[in-house]
């Protein structure tokens, strides 16, 4: 059973991260139960927020405890962040970059192997580093090496197996309050002592291979599975125009599709538009190494031999090859480079006017009287929501002030090296401040403590819900106001541009990407309502891209 300190910290993390993000979890059925040695292998793009997220979403009935791993520099500090890291049984890992020399992780590996032998779960981030990039970093072979070492020590146990559970973490806006997050647990790769020869030198056909080659093939397989279920993009601009293309194809679906379906759909457009980037790179450097930004020096278009098996419905099944045919795609007469340019220019045009795509989807604009009436209704509703939220804003204000100041400090530092820490500090500061805020309010309302003890957390919870509606309402009001002052001729010109691009996007989506003619067919399940209006999981959003802000931001850098 997990230690009391672990369960308490996990509860704090669960409350704070569900308040900060709107989280959707997919694939819980793929998590092996307690007793099955498991290595959890997620991508790593949001510093300490990633382990906090995982600890919060994995049900205790599935895995009572997960042994996390972290850089050992936390053990050299005595701040509150280091204390929280150490309190959940985290295993320290030495990193070469922290010592500028070769490091010895023998003790850490021994601890991890012993944990697996007891049927427990450990978490390793194969990228080895958290970074604010549009693309997942190359996976390192540490997971496969630890799995191989554990199998070697248990090769005489016929029923012993290790589950390599890959997880894809997708943050729509990783540092923004009330942004959406997807945690997708992929079907696990299962390796047993019989695979030990595969992880060493002998393949199934009897051919010889080096240990390094076998380990790299397993690592590449894990990496491809994780990449295929995230918004992995060669650059931020490709991600931006992929979102624009998705909205032109199926923007009216909004949040009626699940976040998992939203990510899958956007990823299809990323993969299509990435071909423009690939072709440009080939043209610019014909003799250069085309694999610098791809996993372990291998192109994702290369055919790979899959050397392991996975569990599906309780049976061991062969993994299908994940290769993509390395051939020139037929675009049905549509030039992808020109389409990518048009998508970027169209999104720039929308941003310059401060309006969204769906606002110009009508052939003719709404009448002035209709726009004014809608603006009037939204102003009234915004005042109602602000009145409801104001008491809660007072309770939340210490947290808002501290985290905004911390974010201001971080944003003055180099973006690439530090932006992945913004959400981490916001979450941990919120977790730390929530408890004293609660007890201080209870102290000052002591005569009514039987009421305020439960009313305070309820009010703070509902304030998030009402604040989200408030920002959405004000944002909509501003957008309608800009539409009100947009000349009809200019609206018509923008709509014409939109339709020309939309026709090409639809053509590619249906005939090249295999998407349905009617996007409504992509809705595979009914969205959960939870507690109805009073649930912060229910979103009044037009798109998962929206967060608490008064303007629409399409850039992701």
| 8 Å CB contact between 430 and 401 | no
User: Strand 121-123 relative to strand 162-171: parallel, antiparallel, unpaired?
Assistant: unpaired
Contacts of 150 (CB under 8 A, 6+ apart): 37, 113, 116, 117, 162
Sign of CA dihedral 471, 474, 478, 483: positive
Domain span holding position 441: 366-485
475 within a domain of the structure (yes/no):
yes
By C-alpha distance, which of 357, 433, 367 is closest to 402? Answer: 433
Strand partners, 22: 180
Q: What angle do CA 90, 36, 191 make, to 5 degrees?
A: 100
What SS3 class is residue 162? strand
Tens-digit pLDDT profile for the chain (557 aa)? 788 888 988 988 898 898 889 899 999 999 999 999 999 999 998 988 999 999 999 999 999 999 999 888 888 887 777 888 888 889 988 888 778 888 888 899 999 999 999 999 999 999 988 888 899 999 999 999 899 889 888 888 878 899 999 999 999 998 888 889 999 999 999 988 776 655 555 555 666 656 677 788 889 999 999 999 999 999 999 999 999 999 999 988 888 888 999 999 999 999 999 988 655 555 554 544 443 433 333 332 233 333 333 333 333 323 333 333 333 444 556 889 999 999 999 999 999 998 999 999 999 999 999 999 999 999 999 999 999 999 999 999 999 999 989 888 888 877 666 777 888 888 888 888 888 999 999 998 888 889 989 999 999 988 988 898 899 899 999 999 999 999 999 999 999 999 999 999 999 999 888 899 999 888 875 555 444 555 544 555 678 888 888 777 787 76
| 8 Å CB contact between 211 and 199 | yes
For residue 439, give both structure tokens: 């007890």
* Spatial separation of the C-alpha atoms in residues 167 and 148, rounded to whole Å: 20
DSSP symbol at 445: T
308 within a domain of the structure (yes/no):
no
Q: Give the end of a domain, one of 232, 252, 273.
A: 232
319 within a domain of the structure (yes/no):
no
CATH code for the domain of 159? 3.40.1130.10
Sign of CA dihedral 368, 371, 377, 382: negative
* Spatial separation of the C-alpha atoms in residues 47 and 100, rounded to whole Å: 21
| 8 Å CB contact between 428 and 80 | yes
Contacts of 196 (CB under 8 A, 6+ apart): 148, 151, 152, 155
514 within a domain of the structure (yes/no):
no
**Class of residue 312 by CB neighbours under 10 A (exposed 0-12, middle 13-18, buried 19+):** middle
* Spatial separation of the C-alpha atoms in residues 459 and 309, rounded to whole Å: 49
Phi, psi of 16 (to 5 degrees): -70, -40
* Spatial separation of the C-alpha atoms in residues 218 and 198, rounded to whole Å: 10
267 within a domain of the structure (yes/no):
no
252 within a domain of the structure (yes/no):
no
Q: Give the end of a domain, one of 210, 232, 254.
A: 232
Number of domains in the chain: 2
User: Global pTM?
Assistant: 0.84
Q: Give the end of a domain, one of 217, 232, 247.
A: 232
User: 3-state secondary structure string, 233-248?
Assistant: CCCHHHHHHHHHHHHH
* Spatial separation of the C-alpha atoms in residues 545 and 180, rounded to whole Å: 8
Phi, psi of 235 (to 5 degrees): -160, 170
Task: Compute the half-sphere exposure of residue 99: CA atoms within 13 Å on the CB side of its CA.
Answer: 12
309 within a domain of the structure (yes/no):
no
H/E segment holding residue 72? none
């Amino acid at each position: 059973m997990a230690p009391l300190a672990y369960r308490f910290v996990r509860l704090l993390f669960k409350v704070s991260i569900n308040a900060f993000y709107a989280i959707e979890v997919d694939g819980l059925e793929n998590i092996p139960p307690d007793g099955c040695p498991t290595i959890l292998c997620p991508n790593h793009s949001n510093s300490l927020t990633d382990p906090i997220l995982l600890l919060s979403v994995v049900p205790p009935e599935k895995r009572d405890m997960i042994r996390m791993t972290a850089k050992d520099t936390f053990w050299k500090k005595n701040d509150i962040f280091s204390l929280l890291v150490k309190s959940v049984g985290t295993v320290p890992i030495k990193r070469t970059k922290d010592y500028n020399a070769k490091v010895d992780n023998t003790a850490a590996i021994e601890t991890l192997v012993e944990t697996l032998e007891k049927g427990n779960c450990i978490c390793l981030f194969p990228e080895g580093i958290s970074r604010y990039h549009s693309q997942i970093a190359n996976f390192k072979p540490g997971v496969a090496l630890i799995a191989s070492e554990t199998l070697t020590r248990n090769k005489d146990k016929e029923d012993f197996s290790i589950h390599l559970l890959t997880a894809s973490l997708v943050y729509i806006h990783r540092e923004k309050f009330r942004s959406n997050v997807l945690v997708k647990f992929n079907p696990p790769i299962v390796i047993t002592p019989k695979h030990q020869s595969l992880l060493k030198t002998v393949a199934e056909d009897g051919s010889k291979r080096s240990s390094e080659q076998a380990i790299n093939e397993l690592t590449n397989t894990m990496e491809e599975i994780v990449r295929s279920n995230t918004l992995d993009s060669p650059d931020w601009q490709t991600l931006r125009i992929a979102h624009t293309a998705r909205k032109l194809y199926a923007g009216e679906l909004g949040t009626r599709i699940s976040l998992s379906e939203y990510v899958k759909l956007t990823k299809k457009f990323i993969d299509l538009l990435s071909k423009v980037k690939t072709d440009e790179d080939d043209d610019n450097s014909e003799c250069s190494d085309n694999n610098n930004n791809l996993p372990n020096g291998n192109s994702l278009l290369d055919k790979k031999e899959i050397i392991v098996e996975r569990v599906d419905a309780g049976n061991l099944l062969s993994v299908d090859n994940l290769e993509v045919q390395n051939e020139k795609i037929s675009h049905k007469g549509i030039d992808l480079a020109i389409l990518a340019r048009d998508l970027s220019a169209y999104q720039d045009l929308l941003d310059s006017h401060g309006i969204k795509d769906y606002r110009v989807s009508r052939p003719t604009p709404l009448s002035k009287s209709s726009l004014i009436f809608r603006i009037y209704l939204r102003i009234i509703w915004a005042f109602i929501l602000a009145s409801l939220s104001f008491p809660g804003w007072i309770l939340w204000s210490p947290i808002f002030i501290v985290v905004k100041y911390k974010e201001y400090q971080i944003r003055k530092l180099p973006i690439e090296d530090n932006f992945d820490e913004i959400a981490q500090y916001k979450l941990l500061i919120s977790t730390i401040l929530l408890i004293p805020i609660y007890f201080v309010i209870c102290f000052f309302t002591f005569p009514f403590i039987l009421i305020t003890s439960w009313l305070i957390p309820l009010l703070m919870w509902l304030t998030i819900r009402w604040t989200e509606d408030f920002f959405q309402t004000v944002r909509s009001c501003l957008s309608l106001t800009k539409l009100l002052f947009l000349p009809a001729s200019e609206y018509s010109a923008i709509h014409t541009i939109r339709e020309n691009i939309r026709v090409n996007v639809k053509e590619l989506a249906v005939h090249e990407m295999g998407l349905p003619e009617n996007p409504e067919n992509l809705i595979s399940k009914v969205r959960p309502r939870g507690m109805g209006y009073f649930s912060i999981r229910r979103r009044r959003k037009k798109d998962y891209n929206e967060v608490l802000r008064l303007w629409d931001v399409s850039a992701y850098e």
